[in-house]
Amino acid sequence: MNNQSKEIFDLIEKEKIRQENTIELIASENFCSKAIRDACGSVLTNKYAEGYPQKRYYSGCEFVDDIEAIAIDSAKKLFKCDFANVQPHSGSNANIISYFSFLNSGDKILGLSLDCGGHLTHGFKLNFSGTNYEAFQYTTDQDGFLDYDQILKQAQEIKPKMIVCGASAYPRKIDFKKFREIADSCNAYLMADMAHIAGLVATDLHMSPIPFADVITSTTHKTLRGPRGGFILSNKENEEKINKAAFPGFQGGPLEHIIAGKAICFIEAMDLSFVEYQKQVLKNAKILEQELLNYGFDLVTGGTDNHLLLVDLRKKNISGKKAQTLLESVGVSVNKNSIPNDPKSAMVTSGIRIGTPAITTRGCKEEEMKIIAKYINAVLSNPEDLDLHNKIKQEIKELLKNFPTP
Ligand code: DSN
């Protein structure tokens, strides 16, 4: 190992220790299995495989062909659909590829605004989705809920070519059937970005978008607990245009090492233990909801019925940015997050987003959730008490020793 690679491996080791000593509550993060990490760090990274299984532009693809075919078949089986493309390098790429498949530049799209829980790629003005298309945004109501009547009204006025549903910071279930009805009422395509809830969908703990959306995009690394990457689902009818849009339309060589990780992820998600895991993710979020409400925190929509909570900190007189920094200093990782109609900028925010997928993977259950809520309350209620913060930091390190990372 030369000095430069040693420096990198030292940093990787530090990151490993950081992860071990942190209560990870970032709602979009998780810990994938060792098998997935091994696949992603394998010799497959050396292989070029532009094209699709049995239709490649390079020789020597017989083994990556089998791997990608297993990933495709497993994704189809897991989500009960008849088309999957597992090549998107990320969720954003999956969304770009889906737009390329169904839209022309300048077409109208309608998606959830970023400050109400949407994603940059759902039409945000600084993102390609907001510059390459004529993007309109719907919002949540005053209490933070999707207002399907209002979205219907807007859709009928705008007549978008595509409606985008799905969210990055929405603590409630999404009614994909209603979105289908809205899309049908204005003859629009429906794209469902299920990145956050893919693990819940895979285990039937959330309504599946599969029968309702024309195209479904996702990441593999959030609730689904796979490697960092994306994928697209649809039906056979759309196979050709989506595959063409992915390659050669947008991406080059697929990352076969990551695709191997995705295959393992889909297979792991078919195991009964994965259903138990997702149930615990939901239980843990519910306990955090109850505990934080008992401590006097306001939650957007009043609570959660998925894997995440959005805490409105205005009453506590602390910004999301400050809360994130304070919690990080004791070893609790959350992210600052805008709340609907946030008076503060996106860099400061009035809220934090809290999710349970990662901490549940480490084996934490109801009792630990109560302890975590207690720590969050103690730190945010006593922002200047450094002695208390140090004590909590030590206690967190001790607590986490009982919950090893995979
Ligand atoms: N950045 C992701 C999240 O945190 O939700 C969305 O892509």
pLDDT in tens, 92-122: 999 999 999 999 999 999 999 999 999 999 9
Q: Probe ligand 1: pick from 24, 28, 196, max atoms within 8 Å of CB?
A: 28
Pocket perturbation via mutation, ligand 1, pick of 92, 129, 168, 228 by most ligand atoms within 8 A of CB: 168
Helix, strand, coil tally for the chain in percent (to 5): 50, 15, 35
Length, in residues, of the chain: 406
Task: Determine whether 50 is an active site residue.
Answer: yes
pLDDT grade for 183, boundaries at 50, 70 and 90 = very high
**pLDDT for the residue 366:** 98
Is there an atom of ligand 1 within 6 Å of 51 CB? no
With cut-offs at 50, 70 and 90, classify the pLDDT of residue 29. very high
- Tell me how crowded residue 127 is: count the other CB atoms within 10 A of its CB: 19
Determine if ligand 1 sits within 6 Å of the CB of residue 168. Answer: yes
* Bridge partners for 108 per DSSP: 134
Residue 155 φ/ψ, nearest 5 degrees: -65, -40
Q: Which protein residue has the closest C-alpha to ligand 1 atom 1?
A: 28
Q: Calculate mean pLDDT across residues 132-145.
A: 97
What is the pLDDT at residue 2?
80
pLDDT in tens, 278-303: 999 999 999 999 999 999 999 999 99
pLDDT confidence tier of residue 3, bands split at 50, 70 and 90:
confident
Query: Which atom of ligand 1 approaches the CA of 335 most closely?
Result: 4
The pLDDT of residue 396 is 98
Percent above pLDDT 70 for the chain: 100
Residue 169 CA, closest ligand 1 atom number: 5
Residue 247's pLDDT is what?
Answer: 98
Residue-wise pLDDT for 154-170, tens only, equals: 999 999 999 999 999 99
CATH architecture designation of domain 272-400: Alpha-Beta Complex (3.90)
45 Cβ partners below 8 Å, 6+ apart?
255, 256, 257
CATH topology of domain 35-268: Aspartate Aminotransferase; domain 2 (3.40.640)
- pLDDT band of residue 4 (cuts 50, 70, 90) is confident
Is there an atom of ligand 1 within 6 Å of 28 CB?
yes
Instruction: Write b or e for each residue in 1-16: b if 16 or more Cβ atoms lie within 10 A of its Cβ, otherwise e.
Output: eeeeeeeeeeeeeeee
Query: How far does Cα 338 stand from its chain's mean position?
Result: 17
Stretch(es) of the chain classified as CATH 3.90.1150.10: 272-400
Position 130 pLDDT exceeds 90 = yes
For residues 318-324, average pLDDT: 98
Q: How far is CA 103 from CA 20, 133, 305, 326, in A?
A: 44, 9, 33, 44
214 annotated active-site: no
Q: State the DSSP string of 192-221.
A: EE-TTTHHHHHTTSS--STTT-SEEEEESS
Cα–Cα dist 356/364, whole Å? 9
Q: Mean of the pLDDT values across residues 353-368?
A: 98
**203-251 confidence digits (pLDDT tens):** 999 999 999 999 999 999 999 999 999 999 999 999 999 999 999 999 9
Cα 352 from Cα 247, distance rounded (Å): 38
Q: Supply the Cα-derived Rg of the chain in whole angstroms.
A: 21
What is the mean predicted confidence (pLDDT) over 136-161?
97
* CATH 3.40.640.10 domain residues, the chain: 35-268
Question: Strand locations in 51-196, DSSP E?
Answer: 51-52, 55-56, 83-85, 108-112, 134-138, 162-165, 189-193
Q: Where residue 139 falls among pLDDT bands split at 50, 70, 90?
A: very high
- Ligand 1 proximity of 284 Cβ (cutoff 6 Å): no
Query: In angstroms, rounded to a whole number, what is the distance separating the alpha carbons of residues 381 and 243?
Result: 52
